[in-house]
Amino acid sequence: MSESLEPARLVPPGRILERELEARDWTQRDLAAVMGRPPQAINEIIRGTKQITPETAIELGNALGTSAEFWTELEYQYRLGLARKERRGDDDQITRRSRLYSLAPVNELIKRGWLRATESLDELERDLCRFLKITSIEQTPLLEGPFRASGERGPEYGATVAWVRRVEQLASLQEVAPFDIERLQRAIPDLRALAKEPEQIAKVPKLLRESGVRFVHVRHLPRTYIDGVMCIVEGQPVIGLSLRYDRIDSFWFTLMHECAHLVLGHECPPVDNLEDKEALSGGIEAEADQQARRWLLDQPSLQHWVKRTNPYFGRAAIERFADNQELHPGVVLGQLMFDGTVTYKHLRMLLVRVSPFLSDWMEPTL
């Protein structure tokens, strides 16, 4: 961090003016007469009790053969130096607060109860460092694990890290069986079978935990645009969902996407910015997308049905195909929307909400 140099001693503009008068062998009354000002005004400037205004700076420049800017700059630097000396402690606190608020959306974290509300800056700094898993506010917290988020909007790094940290925090409170990747692979068809009826979603966390995968739901933070994450806590995998889109299609695609990261053995090195994260994880995100699509829908059957049905994607047609695939019609509709086959306004009544079936896994809204 760069530091500006400050003079060891502040020199008031009146001192410079006094030396100018001495060099000319003028008295204060002489200068007052030249400028058409009361002698008292000149005396107050020299003693530093009266500031040099822009109008006075112009008159001094004309009287002494200098620029007006010379006097305004002297006055500005002197007053700025005084202000810095008077509030040096306050400025240090403002700098610290600025750093805290650049690391994470502090007010939102306090509002949600993720951080304690406190008047003590020391306590706030200590709590935030502990929450973000850093030892100093000069550190940048690392983002680990692949996550699925909007590619069109620019997520805010600090908010994204805070959301993932909350997922990790809640996951650490869960006790699950040792992770068994083969058991998870065998459980994928059982998970997919739950996508037929919305109420079956309530069984998802238990099925994941039996394979050693912790499941956490944390409402998304503003400016994160994040749908889900796969991370590791205490050596065991965690799938965290935000339900940013509280819809059956988004839930199943995001869940299968995060499961794909685990089954495919995806890893993403820790990074301290979203640009590197996107560059490093772009390939595995696309691979997880494709695997999730294959698990949810038989792609050749979908392509054949779309070609045969286009452009008449009515409710009855979608429900018949979904029944044939043993899926909720909202999952099929979501795939059609994502592919651009139908618009996002089409038959939205099929996109049922899933949060009512995950109430036991949701944090209370403060």
Identify whether 311 is preceded by a cis peptide bond (ω within 30 of 0): yes
| pTM for the predicted model, two decimal places | 0.79
Rounded CA separation 110/302 (Å)? 46
Rounded CA separation 244/221 (Å)? 9
C-alpha distances out from residue 271 to 142, 205, 224, Å: 5, 29, 16
Question: Is 67 within 8 Å of 61 (Cβ atoms)?
Answer: yes
Q: What is the pLDDT along the chain (366 residues), one digit of tens a residue?
A: 344 555 557 889 999 999 999 999 999 999 999 999 999 999 999 998 899 999 999 999 999 999 999 999 999 988 888 877 776 656 788 889 999 999 999 999 999 999 999 999 999 999 999 999 999 999 999 988 787 776 566 689 999 999 999 999 999 999 998 999 999 999 999 999 999 999 999 999 999 999 999 999 999 999 999 999 999 999 999 999 999 999 999 999 999 999 999 999 998 888 888 887 777 777 899 999 999 999 999 999 999 999 999 999 999 999 999 999 999 999 999 999 999 999 999 999 999 999 999 988 877 654
> Quick check: helix, strand or coil at residue 262?
helix
Domains by residue range for the chain, with CATH: 13-86 (1.10.260.40), 95-132 (no CATH), 147-361 (no CATH)
Q: What is the pLDDT of residue 353?
A: 96
Pairing type for strands 214-217 and 226-233 reads: unpaired
> Quick check: helix, strand or coil at residue 237?
strand
Rounded CA separation 192/176 (Å)? 21
